[in-house]
Structures are given as C-alpha cells and as structure tokens.
Structure 1
Amino acid sequence: MLKKRHGKLTITRKPNKIVGDTSRVITRPHLPADSRRIASIIQRIRGLTQKEGNTVLTQIIHDFSRRHEDLAHIFERHFGLVKHHIKKGTLLSETERTLIGAYFTKEYAIESAALFNPSIVPHPIQGHLEEGSLRFVMSLRATGEGHISSIVFRSGVLNRYNTFRFDPVSEFVETPDLKLNPLYKRKLFQHKLREMNADSDICTHVLNSLPEEFSKEELDREMGRLHKHPHFSKTKQNRTFEIINWLSDSNYEVDFHSNHRISERVIFPVSRNESRGIEDARFVQFFDDNGESTYYATYTAYNGVTILPQLIETKDFISFKITMVNGKAAQDKGLALFPRKIKGQFAMLSRQDGESNHIMFSKHLHFWRTSHMIQMPEYPWEFVQIGNCGSPIETEKGWIVLTHGVGPMRQYCIGAMLLDLENPRKVIARLEQPLLAPTEEEREGYVPNVVYSCGSIIHGNELVIPYAMSDINSGIATVSVNHLINAMRRVTA
C-alpha cells in the first residue's frame, strides 16, 4: 500500500491491480464481408457425409464446450443470421444446422488489450455483510483485437477499513440475448432525426403513416413501401433510410442470466453507431424523488468516424436498456449524470468545446438543449483540456467532482472541485495541484502518462477512486473526504 503526501493530503494507492485476462472470450458472428461467400460455405458444409459432419461437430464440442456455457444456443442464434441464404423448403438435419452456426462463429478476447477506465457504485444487494462493509459493482472498459471496447463488470466487498475483496472472476463470459426496443415514440424519434440531419420530407412521409407509438416492424414496413414506390430521389431515400435504421438500432435491450455471476456479463457493441466500441461508461446510482434507485450510465458510442452519447439504464445489472441521449448540448464525450434531481430537474456534467467543464439541466432525461460553462483550464497541468472523471458525489459541504486535466506531454492527471449543493453552476472550491498524477510505474501502457477514472464513491469518510493506468490496467486509491475538501482553494465569485 503506497501513501503519498500531497500538501496536507495523503493519497493511498491500494495494492489491488485489475488486469485483463486473455482467456475470457465471447462468441461473435463471423460473416464474410462478401455475402456471396456465405452460400458457398453452407454448400461445402452440406456436402459433408453424415459421418464426416458428426466427426467435425464432435471435435468442435470437445474443443469449445468448456469455454462457453451454451454452445448449442450460440450456434442456433448464428445459424439464424445466415439461414436466408438457404433455399426455402430445404430440409436440414440438426447436425447441419449446428455446423452451419459453428462455421459462422468466432471467439473474441474482450480483455486481451486492456482493462481500464473504471467506475464504481453500490451493489443493488447489500444483505449479509459485516458491519461497516459495502458490496460494490465496478464497471470497466475492456478492449480486445482491433481496439473494440465493451463494458465488463466486477463485484466485491469493501470492509470498514476500505480493504477491497473482489469476488472470484468467472472463466465464462456471457453474450446476452438482444431485443430491439419494441416501441418508439414518434415525436421523440422525429426530433432526433432532425438532429441527425435526416431529410425532413422523407422522414415526415414515413413517420406520418405510423401511430404515435410504433414498432421496428411497422417502421420497416413503411420504409419498404417507400422503397418499392419512391416519391423522392433514390440517393436521398437510401441516405435517409440509413439514418433511420441507425437511430432505431441504437435503442435496444439486453438480458443476462440472473443466476450467473456479474463478471460473466459483457455489454458488447450491438448497433452500427457503436460498431467500433462502447467507451468510458460512467455509472451512477440515481435516486428518484420517491427514494427508489435506478442505475444509469452515460457512454460514448463510436463507429470509427463519429461519436454519439448513449444512456444505459438498469435496476439489477441483469437487464439493461440502451437509448440515445439527444439535444444540442449532448454531442461531446464525457457526460456525467448527477445522482438526484436538483430543483425538479435532471442535471448533467458535460464538455461542449473540447476543453472546458459545463453543466446542463433538463426536465427530460433524454433531451439536453443548453449548457453553462463552470470551469476552464487554469493551471499548467490542465492547460490542454479538462473534463470530469465521473458523476458528482454529494457531501454536506457540496458536490465533489473529480476532474481530469491534460498538460504537457499529453499527461492526464486527476483533480477535484466542489460545487454548491443547490446551485451546482457555482464552483465553491478546487484543487490547485493534481490529486493523482502518473507515477513511474503507471506511465507505461497503451496510452502512456494517463491516470483516469469514470466514477468514485464515498465509504467510511473516504473517497474511493478506481482509476486507469495508461489505458491498460486499473488500480484503486483512497483519500479522506474532509482532507480533500479542506485542501481545495476557495473560489471567489
């Protein structure tokens, strides 16, 4: 355990290191870019004799059944992706169906490149614990081949001394069943299409034929009619259809098995707008006015060209609902939701100009139209840019916000500021020096010279900060809440 004095502050780095495991693999569809090859591969599989097919399948089951919990379900799901390439009425044996699914399946090592940018929240189940202990859920950004990012989870217990005990990590990783959002609200859908610069005439033509709440099937049917009998130029129609499909595919739900460990669950990119990764989920336990809690997380969807903010919602870390975050003020990275409403409105931290911290308010969780700048780069260690390191944390003296600052040599450090409880537009105090800066041991990694967090908690009068080290591994640090606040420089109006 390393203690580092910083002025009057003592920062404690815990011995725990959270590292990726190359043996943790999920299954993904493996479809050739040239779809014409799919029919050829299926034909070769069907050309096997029954004995040859059984031999190949037996070997597959032998090699991979200990790496995945339900191979039969996986192969059947992936068979469903290519079955339209088989002539209708063709009779297939069970072996043929399973083999076809297997040939269009591949493994993906989700943590083989890095495991970083963690956030931490209290676990929804807190029973059967020693006095003063807290069960937690930690989310992390996992990256594998091609630097595709996903969200993985760990769980464990913090005792009264803030000693971490992680639960055993399962050797299996579960790919969840996907269900597209069954209903879309027409007004909200049309509003988002305008933000995405879709052709308004074509959108109006399609959506006016739909009820106030419509399904994906109804939407596809209306687009199919317009495709069959075009009213607009085909180029414009196809471009607009692409945007409409992009939007509809970005709202979905995933369900995991409730009896599996939380470490088996991975939220992997599903929609086209996140095809190159799900980045930097900032989880927060949000309390409604009636005291009920819901876990939300903002994350950045990346398709290789553009980014799009998304929102995750869950009550139990078993079922997750993913939706778009909309509005002119919700276009950049680093959105972080406050854990409760303030004066009847949702509140969110954001960054609008690529370098300053902003705050925004909305009566609707999914729409954010305006923002207010609350912090600009001020000190040398943050001259390049600043942003948040997760959702604000409520204390009697104000909202603690961990920040990140980028300085010379693109070094990322973690700082802190304090916002007024009832008027968080107002910065009360802030640290003049970094709370955490990369040590020599933390400088080496995929992106050198970076410490970064996506969310912390208070436990036992200490701020518990899980943080990434150079975009490859993660560690944990703690600091006294009172000492942290007292070390901040007061900001005069």
Structure 2
Amino acid sequence: MPQSAFLTRQAPLLRPDPGRVIVRSFRLTAEPLALKPGEKTRANHIVDRVMALDPEAAAAQLAEVLENFDGRHRNLLARFEARADEMEPAFAAHPSFTLLQRRLVGAYFMHEYSFEAAALFNPSIVPHPDQSGVAAGSCRFIVSLRAVGEGHVSSLTFRSGIVSADGTITVDRTERLATLPRLVRLVGGMDGDEVEIAFSGDEDLSERVIFPVTPAQANGIEDARFVAFDEGGGSTIYYATYTAYSGSTIRSELIETRDFRVFNLSPLAGTAARNKGMGLFPRKIDGRYAMIARQDNENLYLIYSDDLRIWNGGEAILRPVFPWEFVQIGNCGAPIELDEGWLLLMHGVGPVRRYSIGAALLDKNDPSKVLGRSHRPLLRPEPAEREGYVPNVVYTCGAMRHGDQIILPYAVSDTFTNFATIRIDDLLKSLD
C-alpha cells in the first residue's frame, strides 16, 4: 500500500524562533566554584566596579538595563536578586551593599540565551491534563520539543493545541516570552542529582523552558519521550525518558509531572539505562513496569522492572531486517495501546544515514511477541524535507491515538517540526 494511502501530512509547522530568549546565569570562565579567603577574581573585580558607582549612577544604570530588557522577560528584578544570592562569595570581600547594588551585580552576571535559535525538533505528544471546554470528539494536546541554541545546548519546551474529531490539527499561538523554572530542590546521590523545579503557573505553557540544571545535563536535555501513564483508578501521571548530555557522556534520566508546572528529574540506573531512546509503556504489564530500549546501539529490547528508576537486562525482540534500517533501529516513543496489540513506532537508519519511520505491532499480553512490522517506511524524508541541520532525517519521540487515527508529530532534518495523521486500520494492514 503506498504511503499516501494512509498517512496525511498536515499544515502546522513549528519552526525555531531566535527571537525567543531566556535570561540565565553565566559564570566567568576564570571564576572558580569556590573562593579562598581574601582571594579576588574577575567576579570580585566586577563587583568592585559596581560598588564604586555612586547611588545616582547605579540607579541610572539599573534603570537603563530595565528599559532594555524588562519587557523581554518576566520578573526580571527578582531574577537579578536570585543571581546575586548565588554570588555571595563575590560579596564576601565587601562589608555592606544595598538592594540596588545587589540587583545591579546580578544583572552583570546574567545573559540572554536564544534557546531555540538553531532547531526545534524531536517532538512527543500526549493528551493535555486539562480537557475542559474541548468540543466533543476533539482533544487538547501537549507537544514537547527539543530546542537547540548557541553551543548546541538542548533544552525542553512545549506547545499546546487541539486535534478535532476529523483529525485536523491546530497548534495554539506561541507566546513571545519564555521563562525558566524555580529550583525547588536539588539532592545529590550516588547515581547523580535529583531535581525538582516549578513554574509559577501564570505563564502560558509555551513560555516554560526546562534548561539543564545538573552537571550531567550541562550540554543538553535531549529527546524527551513523554507518555500519559495510567496509574489505575482513573489516575494519570506523565513520565518522560530523556538523554542527559554532559558534553562528554550521556545517561538516561526520567521526568515526572502531573500538571506540566512542577517537574521532578532523576537519573535512571541499571545496565539497560546506558544508552539513548528508552520508551516507557503507558501502564504496567502483569504488575511490572515495561520499557523498550536500545542498549546495544542497534537492536530493540523489551525490559521489565519493579522499580521505575532501575532497569537491567532485557530481551532483544526487534533487529534490523530491511534495507531502510540496516544500520540501526530505535524506538520512537512510548508504545501505543490498541485493541490489536501494542503499536510501536520505530526509526530505521539506511544508506547515507537516511532516517525513516516505521512501525511494529507487539502482542498485548506478551510484548516480546512481534505480530507484524513495516517492510517499508511509513514516513521518509520528502524532497522538501531533506535540507536542514542534519539532512535526510525524519524523527519522532512519540505519537498518540485519537479515535481511529494516530497523531504523529515529527522532526524534519533536526531543524523544525511537522505533523501527520495515520489511519490505524490501514496502518495495521500494512504490517506483516
């Protein structure tokens, strides 16, 4: 069956916007993490210069900063004060300082960062926790996106929208402002840092940006695969596996949220959590958590665990078979539950490292049994989709079911994001 017979590309496109910026802390490259008593660094020298300004000049300088930047960010003075709180070692050499001076020093140790200047890609999609006011047969959704800015640093951002009863997709307007969350809790452990962050709640969902917090995430929070997890009894929690990149090493981590306002981030442990691309099943199977992963860089494994944060072992259930996937295969997000079984979207890498998207159907009671898979890709780069940061790539981190269709957001050449819909009946017929 030709691809066009059951897959329809939609009009909405999500493109990177360099005009959307966050204001974040920076540390001078020569600034040590801890200062010795009496030692002065570049940071001290900057503080010295600020402290030397008379009150009128300091007030004028802060007013100029606010005139230039206040309309581009929420609560800018509070962010300057919070940054000053982090600069206490640089204040240690000074007997006293005013609130004005603290705010001005904070401003000197912050900068704007265009977090999605380079790319907005690798999406996943889940039903929005708030479905109030949605027309019958429609569904409000949340799309998570990997945003990339200067230095190829990846962060996590969001969009919302509506899919109508007939599968028409509308994405809500993206707000101009963007903001970082408040750090609520940071706990160090043997396996790394656990983090709780919270947004104030008065921002639009599209304003919220989860930027790297811990050393393990320093260069990126990559490819979040969100899933609406059924806890039973009508309770849903949202999990996402993602790749934390330090700049030299990677590890798998987990996000947990109920409202997309408060998030917990924690590392995953175990021999099966050492690579990219883990996809959590949306409910327990026989009382255990289940995951699809690719710990050997080539094949897909089914793994079970009694502990959501520890994953070991696993059974290889899918290996590269067809020419379009000879280099490697990987999962494209959480399996989707159908009456017929678990639908697993998967990517394959073929000649000239062209990425395509296919699917497999797993037995509902025993997902280690493969009932069918794509002989040909469901989605491959069209001529208009070949150019970008990484050419010849289509990729997704998760789709969702809506009635008799699959709603598939997908990235194009690691640059921007598009949407497609797939008719489930016809898709299943294509899996042998």
Q: Which residue of 2 aligns with 1:41?
A: 46
2:150 and 2:3 mapped to 1: Cα distance? 42
Q: For 2:214, which of 271, 287, 291 is the aligned residue?
A: 271
Q: What do you get for the CA RMSD once the two structures are aligned? A: 1.3
User: How far off is 1:291 after superposition?
Assistant: 2.9
Q: For 1:6, which of 2, 11, 27 is the aligned residue?
A: 2
User: How far off is 1:178 after superposition?
Assistant: 0.5
Please show how residues 319-398 of structure 1 align to structure 2 within 5 Å.
319-398=262-341
CA contact (8 A) 2:126 2:142 kept: yes
2:329 and 2:144 mapped to 1: Cα distance? 23
2:382 and 2:363 mapped to 1: Cα distance? 32
CA contact (8 A) 1:30 1:104 kept: yes
1:123 maps to 2:119: no
Please show how residues 5-404 of structure 1 align to structure 2 within 5 Å.
6=2, 9-35=5-31, 36-87=41-92, 90-181=95-186, 189=189, 192=191, 247=192, 250-404=193-347
1:30 and 1:269 mapped to 2: Cα distance? 13
- CA offsets 1:88-127 (integer angstroms, 9 cap, x no match): 6722122211100000010000110000000000000111
- CA offsets 1:131-173 (integer angstroms, 9 cap, x no match): 1110000000000000100000001111111112222211111
User: How far off is 1:8 after superposition?
Assistant: 8.2
Pick the structure with more helix per residue.
1
Q: Which residue of 2 aligns with 1:202?
A: none
CA contact (8 A) 1:465 1:476 kept: yes
- CA offsets 1:168-226 (integer angstroms, 9 cap, x no match): 211111111012246x7xxxx55x4xxxxxxxxxxxxxxxxxxxxxxxxxxxxxxxxxx
TM-score by length of 1: 0.84
Q: Give structure 1 stretches of 5+ with no counterpart.
A: 193-246
1:481 maps to 2:420: no
Number of residue-to-residue matches in the alignment: 423
Q: Which residue of 1 aligns with 2:36?
A: none
2:332 and 2:181 mapped to 1: Cα distance? 28
Q: Which residue of 1 aligns with 2:354?
A: 411
Q: Which residue of 2 aligns with 1:429?
A: 372
2:196 and 2:345 mapped to 1: Cα distance? 30
Pick the structure with more strand per residue.
2
User: How far off is 1:394 after superposition?
Assistant: 0.2
1:276 and 1:341 mapped to 2: Cα distance? 32
CA contact (8 A) 1:9 1:479 kept: no
Report the structure number with the largest CA radius of gyration. 1
89-98 or 423-432, which deviates more: 89-98
1:13 and 1:131 mapped to 2: Cα distance? 24
1:76 and 1:430 mapped to 2: Cα distance? 56
1:425 and 1:9 mapped to 2: Cα distance? 29
2:273 and 2:251 mapped to 1: Cα distance? 9
CA contact (8 A) 1:123 1:136 kept: yes
2:294 and 2:223 mapped to 1: Cα distance? 14
Aligned AA (1:461)? D
Q: Percent identity among equivalent residues?
A: 43
1:452 and 1:70 mapped to 2: Cα distance? 36
Q: Give structure 2 stretches of 5+ with no counterpart.
A: 32-40
CA contact (8 A) 1:8 1:487 kept: no
| SS of 1:369 mapped into structure 2 | coil
Which contiguous aligned blocks of 4+ residues in structure 1 show a shift greater than 6 angstroms? none
2:417 and 2:97 mapped to 1: Cα distance? 49
User: How far off is 1:30 after superposition?
Assistant: 2.0
Q: Which residue of 2 aligns with 1:461?
A: 404
98-107 or 50-59, which deviates more: 50-59
1:338 and 1:318 mapped to 2: Cα distance? 23
- CA offsets 1:263-299 (integer angstroms, 9 cap, x no match): 0111100000010101000000000133311000000
2:59 and 2:195 mapped to 1: Cα distance? 37
Aligned AA (1:108)? Y
